[in-house]
Amino acid sequence: MNARILLLGSGELGKEFAISAKRLGCRVIAVDRYDDAPAMQVADARETIDMLDGAALARCVRKHKPDFIVPEIEAIRTSELLKLEKAGHSVVPSAFAAHMTMNRDAIRELAAKELGLRTARYAYAASAQELADAILAKGGVGLPCVVKPTMSSSGKGQSVVRTKGEIAKAWKYAIEGMRGDRPVVIVEEFIDFDYEITQLTVKERAVRGGGVHFVEPIGHRQERGDYQESWMPCPMKPAAKRAAQEMAAKVVTRLAGKDGAGIFGVEFFVKGGDVIFSELSPRPHDTGMVTLRSQDLSEFDLHIRAILGLPIPEIRYAGPTASAVVLATRDSTKAPRYAGVEQAMAIAGVEVRLFGKPTTRKYRRMGVVLAHGKTATDARKIAMTAASMISVR
């Protein structure tokens, strides 16, 4: 124990992870590109650097000599993580996993081509014309479809194209919303799914047998590419559940490599009997915040246990639980104030988590409401009602 953890990314997921790690006596150094980020507020030390700057990352590692480097976000100079791993540092779950999931095309090629997982039909395009061809050509992706920058997260630059006339706009929107300097988009067949899930999957250390554990599937609803609510249980037909678990195990095992360990959030669309792989995070998943209340070991507890090579026994579930997000409504550099928290907290079974973000942006996630209910539907209703009572000023 008392491992030194360098946490790369200090948002709300990092904050909960830091708390779980602190509970096991770890020393946490929280890193982000802005000061006073949520995880920094509960960590032992902080660093404010640009994590896309490889040299700055390397300096940070030299200074703190961590036992584990734990990425919490995608936007990290992952080529530097590969170098650090080669030099003997332990990157969670592996530098390869962080590297492959930084861009949508790398993980898609691995999942669809190398591992043969079922995905939506897709193509890439590097110009508006290529995009139109990829969609409209015979055997192309077709309409409707979804256009995403290959480098982006939280739905940035992502849009649904329903008609030919919308293609040029989707290209422009993607290029404006992309991260980095590679103007390439992925265009996917639009899957009119019945529901979508996150399959949280834990990969154990080799010393623990290197096995894979599954958390019960989490249902969720997205808007503008960002999650609005998530819930458990999310009943699935046994065959669909098995298919999701098999695919999750495949991709997680491949990404973790020989001794990689940690939790992954593997996203699937379910339509009829079909289970379609979408993407994954080699780290706790935002929709998994519901596990803060739905079970004895949250996704953050599971992550730190896997990292430290501690046992992962059977998870005990607390019954139907839901999470609903609290969003800011406008941009402001002033410290946010919250109204309605008391009303929300007066509801039995409701708990409120405010992340402590120092500033707001329109639609920025500032907090989450967690609620129990008699059924998942009931828990969702309660969580959404309580979240709607809270406003960010």
Nearer to ligand ATP, 13 or 26 (CB): 13
What are residue 69's phi and psi, to 5 degrees? -100, 120
Tell me which of 77, 283, 353, 365 is the catalytic residue.
365
Q: How many residues bind ligand ATP (CB under 6 A)?
A: 16
271: which 2 tokens?
């339509």
Site string for ligand ATP, 215-244 (x = CB under 6 A): -------x--x-------------------
- Cis peptide leading into 144, omega within 30 of 0? yes
Site string for ligand ATP, 35-74 (x = CB under 6 A): ----------------------------------------
Residue type, 93: P
Footprint of ligand ATP on residues 116-135 (CB under 6 A)? Answer: 120
Options 107-115, 133-141, 150-158, 294-302: segment touching ligand ATP (CB under 6 A): 150-158
Tell me whether strands 27-32 and 350-354 are parallel, antiparallel or unpaired: unpaired
Cβ 198 to ligand ATP shortest distance, Å: 9
Nearer to ligand ATP, 156 or 357 (CB): 156
Q: Is 384 left (phi over 0), alpha (psi -120 to 50) or beta?
A: alpha
The answer to whether 385 is a known catalytic residue is no
Q: Does 154 interact with ligand ATP (rule: CB under 6 A)?
A: yes
Q: Give CA–CA dist 318/33, Å, rounded.
A: 36
The answer to whether 67 is a known catalytic residue is no
Cβ 225 to ligand ATP shortest distance, Å: 4
What are residue 36's phi and psi, to 5 degrees? 65, 25
Going through 288-354 in order, the beta strands assigned E by DSSP cover 321-327, 338-339, 350-354
The answer to whether 78 is a known catalytic residue is no
Q: Give CA–CA dist 295/313, Å, rounded.
A: 12
Q: Are 77 and 92 in contact (CB under 8 A)?
A: no
The answer to whether 142 is a known catalytic residue is no
What is the DSSP-derived secondary structure letter of residue 332?
A: B
The answer to whether 301 is a known catalytic residue is no
Q: Does 153 interact with ligand ATP (rule: CB under 6 A)?
A: yes
Cβ 144 to ligand ATP shortest distance, Å: 8
Q: Does 140 interact with ligand ATP (rule: CB under 6 A)?
A: no
- 338 beta partners: 392
Cβ 231 to ligand ATP shortest distance, Å: 15
For the stretch 183-220, what's the b/e string if a residue is b when 16 or more beta carbons lie within 10 angstroms of its beta carbon?
A: ebbbbbbbbebeebbbbbbbbbbeeeeeebbbbbbbbb
Options 36-44, 190-198, 206-214, 288-296: segment touching ligand ATP (CB under 6 A): 190-198
Q: Does 191 interact with ligand ATP (rule: CB under 6 A)?
A: yes
Cβ 227 to ligand ATP shortest distance, Å: 7
Cβ 64 to ligand ATP shortest distance, Å: 27
Cα–Cα separations (whole angstroms), residue 60 to 47, 65, 180: 8, 8, 22
The answer to whether 155 is a known catalytic residue is yes
Burial of residue 35 (number of CB atoms within 10 Å: 0-12, 13-18, 19+):
exposed
Nearer to ligand ATP, 80 or 267 (CB): 267
Tell me whether strands 68-71 and 45-48 are parallel, antiparallel or unpaired: unpaired
Among 188, 216, 229, 301, binds ligand ATP (CB under 6 A): 188
Closest CA to 124 of 159, 153, 152, 150: 150
Q: Does 12 interact with ligand ATP (rule: CB under 6 A)?
A: no
Site string for ligand ATP, 267-296 (x = CB under 6 A): x----------xx-----------------
Q: Give CA–CA dist 101/260, Å, rounded.
A: 15
Residue 311 CB neighbours (<10 A): 7
Options 41-49, 92-100, 108-116, 184-192: segment touching ligand ATP (CB under 6 A): 184-192
What are residue 215's phi and psi, to 5 degrees? -90, 150
- Residues recognised as catalytic: 153, 155, 267, 279, 286-287, 365
Binding stretches for ligand ATP (CB under 6 A): 120, 146, 148, 153-155, 158, 188, 190-191, 196, 222, 225, 267, 278-279
